[in-house]
Amino acid sequence: MANKLLKDAAVNHKLASKRGVLERLFTLMFQGFVYNQIWEDPDVDVAALRVKPSSRIITIASGGCNVVNYLAADPAKVIAVDLNPNHIALTRLKLAALNYLPTYEDFFSFFGYANSKENRVAYDTFLVDRLDETTRKYWESWIPLRGRRINMFARNLYRYGLLGRFLGILNTVARLHGKKLNDMLKAKTPEEQRAIFERTISPLFDSKFVKALSKLPVSFYALGIPPAQFDELNKASNGDPAGLIRRRIEKLACDLPINENSFAWQAFGRRYDTEDRQGVPPYLQKETYEVIRQRTNRVETHLASMTDFLESQPEKSLDCYVLLDAQDWMNEEQITALWHQITRTAAPGARVIFRTAGPDSPLERKLPATVLERWVYEPESAQTYFDKDRSSIYGGFHIYTLKDGAEASAGAPKDQAA
């Protein structure tokens, strides 16, 4: 089932074509464990969505961090869907850990440090018997030379998955050039951040090897960027993807206090700030943990595409939609099918947010006018939130609000599901 869902979402060309080969290679890589954490700023999401106690949120799960982060805003419900069973398993493990690990320190050891043998003991003692069968089988499954999959939490979860390995390769490339990316984490002031970036990171992008690597679509598959999204990134870079990535990493390294930025800690150190616990996601902060663990019963998780799941939901039943960067993946038929279902299920005043590799919203050119006219695009507001986003890896942030009085449209045929 999962393989078919992913193929339907990412494969749009015949195998005989170069693009078809690239799409299938991405699909093969994306079937595994990709994201060990999410790369969308939850504070930006909650503010842009205007979450309130009555809000019913639906989101793509990814690493599951924001599924639980959103609970701090006190929504009525959070529905997490994902095409990748690995990400659903990680999300369900986070929820179980919130419910059943005895203390905050146990929880922080599991997902903050994520590198202690004691985590295996905690899993066997408090979690394994409380997981659903599918999730338990996933974490109990055997990986050659590594033992049970849960062992990732004894060896640093944040070095695993396609993303963890990709960041490891970046660190290796830096060392081969005599640089250490984790030097960024020693900065105490904005001036030090700038100086370390200019000395340590910026020169890497002048390397012929890095420039050549950045022009290959396959180089970005570990970031979860399929060929269609790479095209958008390449377009936004004016043919210089290395320069574009340099600018985005510069924002991550220099524009916001690095000691408070969990995304920067992961990018430059493949870990969180376990000493001061400032550079950690909200769900790992003690005061937030105490709140969200009382609200985990508001979360649902589903292995499904967003379009397929929405087809099963009642009209006007949802208030907030978080599409991550999925719009970049989709062709016109897929986006149309998805937005028919979003419009049908959207309650009055519903808001949709998503991110893109480039600065422009694909809806303006891919979505039929009959659907698009039901929504208000808020580019100025979105730009304000984009400037505050601590992740800094995307090129655009977009907000759409359902127009007052808009009537639900008929759902797209099921064979169009994205």
220 and 246 together in one domain:
yes
Q: Name the residue among 260, 310, 300 with its Cα closest to residue 282.
A: 260
Length of the chain: 418
pLDDT level of residue 31 (50, 70, 90 thresholds): low
More reliable by pLDDT, 146 or 95: 95
339 and 257 together in one domain:
no
Whether 405 maps to a domain, the answer reads: yes
Whether 380 maps to a domain, the answer reads: yes
87 and 189 together in one domain:
no
Q: What share of the chain has pLDDT > 70, as a percent?
A: 84
Distance CA 383, CA 396 (A): 8
Whether 14 maps to a domain, the answer reads: no
**What's the pLDDT score for residue 393?**
85
More reliable by pLDDT, 145 or 81: 81
151 and 174 together in one domain:
no
Whether 176 maps to a domain, the answer reads: yes
139 and 199 together in one domain:
no
68 and 84 together in one domain:
yes
Distance CA 352, CA 321 (A): 5
**What's the pLDDT score for residue 237?**
75
- Per the structure, the count of domains in the chain is 3
Distance CA 351, CA 52 (A): 12
Average the pLDDT over 39-46 and give the result: 96
246 and 320 together in one domain:
no
pLDDT tens digit sequence for 387-407:
999 998 889 999 999 997 544
Distance CA 116, CA 153 (A): 7
Q: What is the largest CA-CA distance in the chain?
A: 60
196 and 338 together in one domain:
no
Maximum average pLDDT range among 140-149, 355-364, 380-389 = 380-389
Q: What is the 3-state secondary structure (H, E, C) of the chain?
A: CHHHHHHHHHCCCCCCCHHHHHHHHHHHHHCCCCCCCCCCCHHHHHHHHCCCCCCEEEEECCCCHHHHHHHHHCCCEEEEEECCHHHHHHHHHHHHHHHHCCCHHHHHHHHHHCCCHHHHHHHHHHHHHHCCHHHHHHHHCEECCCEEHHHHHHCCHHHCHHHHHHHHHHHHHHHHCCCCHHHHHHCCCHHHHHHHHHHHHHHHHHCHHHHHHCCCHHHHHHHCCCHHHHHHHHHHCCCCHHHHHHHHHHHHHHCCCHHHCHHHHHHHHCCCCCCCCCCCCHHHCHHHHHHHCCCHHHEEEEECCHHHHHHCCCCCCEEEEECCCHHHCCCHHHHHHHHHHHHHHEEEEEEEEEEECCCCCCHHHHCCHHHHCCEEECHHHHHHHHHHCCCCCCCEEEEEEECCCCCCCCCCCHHHCC
244 and 392 together in one domain:
no
Whether 29 maps to a domain, the answer reads: no
pLDDT tens digit sequence for 297-316:
999 999 999 999 999 999 99
Residues near 403 by beta carbon (within 8 Å), at least 6 away in sequence = 374, 375, 376
Distance CA 407, CA 283 (A): 37
Residue 124's domain spans which residues? 42-155+283-292
172 and 257 together in one domain:
yes
227 and 327 together in one domain:
no
Out of 103-117, 130-144, 348-362, 393-407, least confident range: 393-407
pLDDT tens digit sequence for 202-217:
988 888 877 877 776 6
Distance CA 244, CA 253 (A): 14
177 and 316 together in one domain:
no
Which among 232, 261, 292 is the end of a domain?
292
- Judge whether 244 and 237 are in contact, CB under 8 Å: yes
Whether 188 maps to a domain, the answer reads: yes
Whether 21 maps to a domain, the answer reads: no
- Judge whether 363 and 372 are in contact, CB under 8 Å: yes
Which among 292, 326, 349 is the end of a domain?
292
Distance CA 66, CA 59 (A): 9
Whether 28 maps to a domain, the answer reads: no
Distance CA 269, CA 168 (A): 9
Distance CA 217, CA 241 (A): 10
pLDDT tens digit sequence for 222-240:
566 666 666 777 777 787 8
